[in-house]
Amino acid sequence: MTASGGGFRWDPARLREPSPAVVRAVLPDEVRAFRAVVDPAAAARGVADSAPTTFPARLQTLDVPGLCLPSAGVVHAAQEVAYPAGRLLAVGERVSVVGWLESVRRRGRLAIVVVVNQMWAWREDSAAGGAGRQDEAPLLVECRSTVMVTLPEEVHA
Amino acid sequence: MTPTAGPWFGAPAPGEELPPQEFVLTAEDLRRYADASGDHNPIHLDDRVAREFGLKDGIIAHGMLVMGRLAAYVSAAAGAEAPASLAVRFRAPVRPGVAMVLTGRVVSVEGAQVVVEAAVAPRAGGAPAVTATWVGQWRVAAAAT
């Protein structure tokens, strides 16, 4: 789902395209143990019009425009992060990122959105595209994000 | 159980509590995190914009930054590089300049795998802003006592 003209445009297929990225930096110890930051500018092709920012924060800033904004009425947010490879990412490490909408349930202005993001170890064939190519590379991080939001009036309309 | 002070040695037992740890995020922390993450949403950086969006007290910390603090807190106690999994709920914003306290409690131990419930709450009291379940290997060596 990407922003389009101030509204919402659902495009889960596009989000499935792998996005090569480079681990750009990590902040000091307080976040080192949790996350790495990827550089979307290094991506051969992005997963959305606006640059994806971080993994797994893409949910907040890309997949659900306005989600961070109180005006959108965020009621609840939860994330489940798994580290199947059992290791941290290194600065400068090349990775491949994919993400997709798992489900969207809407009841009036209320929406419960589930987004899955994955970060895979880089392989040379990652650039060839196709999420299926990622199967051969170790899955480093998987994040399932669930948010409940009250959509803005214009979206509801 | 009374929280211990300093490094924690030895295998934990259910019910044991991690030593609380205080922290205060600053606006500069948020700017640095925005630069590193690329998340320049102004509700994290600009008080005026944040207020326009209904945050009457101004900017709030990135959820991922707070989540990272929490994960690192438990991982450090466990001597683990990273958790095997982490489930987090964001219940309320964390604002810069507000003293927060990290707490954790061991809820189960199976071999080296430990489950810890952790939270970030205002030092002044009140409901946690973030709660989490940390699952991982406990790698801190047994105490040499």
Q: Which of B36, B55, B89 sits opposite A37 (nearest CB)?
A: B36
Band (B49; pLDDT cuts 50, 70, 90)? confident
Q: Which of B37, B69, B76 sits opposite A37 (nearest CB)?
A: B37
User: How many percent of chain B have pLDDT more than 90?
Assistant: 43
Whether the complex's predicted ipTM surpasses the cut of 0.90: no
Architecture of domain B21-137: Roll (3.10)
CB contact under 8 A, B84 and A39: no
Q: What is the DSSP letter of A156?
A: H
**Which is more confident, B2 or B32?**
B32
Chain B closest CA to A17's CA: distance in Å? 20
> Which strand ranges, in their side-by-side order, compose the sheet holding B130-137?
A37-39, A19-25, A94-107, A110-121, A139-150, A74-82, B85-90, B130-137, B113-122, B100-110, B21-23
- pLDDT tens for B73-118 read 898 888 887 788 889 998 888 999 999 999 999 999 998 889 999 9
Chosen for mutation from A27, A76, A115, A144 (greatest number of chain B CBs closer than 10 Å) is A27
pLDDT of res. B69: 85
Band (B15; pLDDT cuts 50, 70, 90)? very high
Mean of the per-residue pLDDT values of chain B: 84
- Mean pLDDT of the B126-130 span: 93
Report yes or no: B62 at the A interface, CB cutoff 8 Å: yes
- pLDDT tens for A51-105 read 233 333 333 333 333 333 333 444 457 888 888 887 766 656 677 666 666 777 7
Give the three-state DSSP class for A129: coil
CB contact under 8 A, A87 and B82: yes
C-alpha distances in Å from residue B21, one per residue of A46, A145, B24, B77, B119: 39, 27, 10, 11, 11
d(CA A54, CA A112): 21
pLDDT of res. A157: 43
pLDDT of res. A91: 57
**Tokens found for residue A55:** 């993994």
Report yes or no: A54 at the B interface, CB cutoff 8 Å: yes
Bridge partners (DSSP) listed for residue A5: none
Mean of the per-residue pLDDT values of chain A: 53
- Mean pLDDT of the A128-143 span: 61
- Give the H or E element holding residue A144: strand A139-150
CB contact under 8 A, B43 and A30: no
Band (B9; pLDDT cuts 50, 70, 90)? low
pLDDT of res. B82: 74
CB contact under 8 A, A34 and B76: no
Using an 8 Å CB-CB cutoff, list chain A residues near B53: 69-71
Whether the full predicted model's pTM is greater than 0.90, yes or no, is: no
pLDDT of res. B121: 98
d(CA B74, CA B138): 10
pLDDT of res. A150: 64
Report yes or no: A56 at the B interface, CB cutoff 8 Å: yes
B124 pLDDT exceeds 80? yes
Least confident of A4-18, A70-84, B28-42, B45-59: A4-18
